[in-house]
Structure 1
Amino acid sequence: MSTTENTPPFIPFTRPHFNQETIDAVAEVLRSGWVTSGPKLAEFEASLSEYFGGRPVRCFANGTATMKIALQVAGIGPGDEVITTPISWVATSNVILSVGATPVFVDIDPHTRNIDLSKVAAAISPKTRAIMPVYLAGLPVDMDQLYSLAKQYQLRVIEDAAQAFGSQWKGQKIGSIGDLVSFSFQANKNLSTVEGGCLVLNNVDEAKLAEKFRLQGLTRQGMDGMDVDILGGKDNLTDVNAVIGLHQLKQLPAFQSRRTALARQYFDVIRAEMKSAGLDDLHLELPLENFTDSNWHMFQVVLPLEQLNVDRAQVMTELKDLGIGTGVHYPAITGFTLYQKLGYRTDSTPIAQRIGRSILTLPLFPGMADEDIGRIASALTGILKKHRKS
């Protein structure tokens, strides 16, 4: 959108930040002649391992590969069931299908918008092998309850922590505890390598197995030839991506501090705007206000569509016309055509259906200005007031 003196700049819902030091480091890697997996990848994996308290870490080309390989490392395959949430990027359940297993969807908690762990036990069958929780917008589930369930029913846990890099549970970093933990480094994540991801594993044997799945099942190569003993893929991360990750990791504390400050402003300003506009009775659902555990990857509200004369798409269009970008994260997976064809029903997870129709992601990234929060809150409140049912 072009800007004039009277038109404020467009605010996207997210924007990655790469400083000049990072750009120079990428140029250095390109000049080195070693641009695929090499010394920078090894350095990045070592730095991540240190960040996670010494646990083995392996990086991959994207966060989808990390989840699929986590399932493979855990031995999940045809005939197995994996319990997960219907509110996530569809990759979460797609990877379960890709290894031949069956996703079992459990409805969400309306406050956290994560899987409702109190409903998991009822979904466990003799075929259940694992549970794959998703930490929506960076907020983890109750880890104590999660691992108590896993222990009781002898399940593997594959944490889809794609959005949760930098989040904590009772003062411990997500990834430093637990079973298999998958992170994404896609462009809009709190730590980005443009595309990429990592998997935190339990021991050296799992790490070696993940390496084989990462590169065509290769067990050895060199002067003595090579061998392949499992079916792998081509999911390695390059040194170009890795060096970006190294520099993002250095900046993570500053990024996190800024995200937290912006999220605090959102709560204060939205509430003040709603009160000033006489909209206290409008049921705009803000996120769970938890500044201890969340990394504030996204700030999401749930629109009170039953109290409005417009749908979410119209609200998003009007915000865009005011120079404000928004996102939808996410529609319930069970409503997608693929999953309907597989026999999944939308009425089996009613809370997820409601949230999926109504959730709206507002802009949140470290490069935002303080005044952007007020502008966004004012615009959203004005639209709600204009379209509320009488």
Structure 2
Amino acid sequence: MPADKSTTPPLPFIPFTRPHFDEATIEAVSEVLRSGWVTSGPKLAEFEAALSAYFGGRPVRCFANGTATMKIALQVADIGPGDEVITTPISWVATSNVILGVGATPVFVDIDPVTRNIDLNKVAAAITPKTRAIMPVYLAGLPVNMDQLYALAKQFNLRVIEDAAQAFGSTWKNQKIGSFGDLVSFSFQANKNLSTVEGGCLVLNNIEEAQLAEKFRLQGLTRTGMDGMDVTVLGGKDNLTDLNAVIGLHQLKHLPAFQARRTALARQYFAAIPQAMKDANIEHLALELAVENFTESNWHMFQVVLPLDQLNVSRAQVMTELKELGIGTGVHYPCITTFALYQERGYAVAATPIAERIGRAILTLPLFPGMADDDVSRIAKALAGVLKNHLKP
């Protein structure tokens, strides 16, 4: 006898991401609250030391969020009014906003359609006498070609500020991103592979840069003795609390397991999506799956690019229909030059056509360690079904 569909419970909702905090982490947060020292203190120092060890002994300083880490990296590099910084138009808008925030000018270079990162082959043509730095972004955790990046920087005498917000745990030729290079910025926001709920860290080159970063994160303050203090630079209020730091310490212990699970889920996606498209007889639709590089990416996100020219539906409608099927999705990211703030400053969408096309059609699917194996096939089948229902005749 067939099941009564009216009494069949709905499948659980799958968000596009979900952080994982175990009971030990929750208890550690409680201990910090009981200690009475909840702002920046001993747990922050312990977390910074653990991060420094993770990055091979390089100096690390933590901040209230990943935006602050990039802003302070620019300040440490003495970048300001009159300077230009080359970056990508496919990123969270914070990447370019911090450049504007220090008075410099973002210069957008179009992306590689395969990696969806900045196209390093086009960077040299964008360099002018005002160019001071390159700020690449490692979309979804996939690094750029680091050899090529630093060769460019050396050739043109430029600083590199790596927006590695999504790349904690990623590698280049078996070296951890952040364990080498120039200034490297990470985010620990709630959806990142390692989360402190909110927060971030900056990996620096030497203790002098680290001390300067400390000044910038707390009003430019320098303490001298028990009661003496001075302010030598214009800083802000960007310190990370011990509450956040103790979460990070526990997340760091789980990172290898988190990474292994993300990689396993990504492998399943690479098998499940083509199979679902084939089963739905729509394998001719190209979803532009990410680079299948399991040794370098940390698989922060899994993304497809919708073939909107072959569909009679918008991305928003696809997302709505997937949500109705119990599947959450995200958009990472629209092309920055489509935003009014940048249009008003004279940036032309036409200057970065690949970024505009992908930013209009990219879709982020669920990927987080707590997902079940069956979730991947369910998501792939649901996506294929929605696309099949909206094929152009």
Counterpart of 2:61, as a letter, is R
Distance 1:203 1:11 in 2: 43
Counterpart position of 1:74: 77
Q: C-alpha separation between the residues in 2 aligned to 1:370 and 1:57?
A: 36
Q: How does 1:183-332 map to 2 (within 5 A)?
A: 183-332=186-335
**Structure 2 Cα separation of the partners of residues 179 and 275 of structure 1:** 45
Structure 2 segments unaligned to the other structure (5+ residues) = 1-5
Cα distance, 1:225 vs. partner? 1.8
Aligned residues: 388
The corresponding residue for 2:140 is 137
- Kindly provide the CA deviation profile for residues 197-233 of structure 1, in whole angstroms up to 9, marking residues without a partner as x: 0000000000000000011101115534211011000
Please name the residue that 1:164 is paired with. Answer: 167
Alpha-carbon distance in 1 for matches of 2:324, 2:299 = 26
1:91 to 72, 91, 94: 94
Match among 94, 100, 103 for residue 103 of structure 2: 100
Question: For structure 1, which runs of at least 5 residues remain unmatched after alignment?
Answer: none
Aligned partners of 1:207 and 1:271: how far apart in 2?
A: 47
**Which amino acid in structure 2 is aligned with residue 299 of structure 1?**
F
Flag as ranges the 4+ runs of structure 1 deviating above 2 A: 3-6, 221-224
- 1:122 pairs with 2:161: no
Match of 2:259, SS state, is helix
Q: Identity percentage over the alignment? A: 82
Distance 1:273 1:5 in 2: 24
Deviates more, 1:212-221 or 1:126-135: 212-221
Query: Partners of 1:280 and 1:104 in 2: how far apart?
Result: 38
Matched to 1:158, the amino acid is I
Partners of 1:377 and 1:204 lie apart in 2 by 48
Q: Deviations along 1:24-62, whole A, 9 cap, x unmatched? A: 000000000000000000000000000000000000000
Return the TM-score normalized by structure 1: 0.98
The RMSD of aligned alpha carbons is 1.0
Distance 1:238 1:141 in 2: 32
Match of 1:28 among 31, 39, 47: 31
1:13 maps to: 16
User: What pairs with 1:173-192 in structure 2 (closer than 5 Å)?
Assistant: 173-192=176-195
Q: Secondary structure at the match of 2:389?
A: helix
- The residue that corresponds to 1:371 in the other structure is 374
Distance 1:22 1:56 in 2: 25
TM superposition shift of 1:5: 4.0
Displacement of 1:340 in angstroms is 0.5
Letter in structure 2 aligned against 1:83: I
Partner of residue 3, structure 2:
none
Tell me the amino acid that sits aligned with residue 322 of structure 1.
L
Q: In 2, Cα distance between the equivalents of 1:364 and 1:144?
A: 29
Q: Secondary structure at the match of 1:387?
A: coil
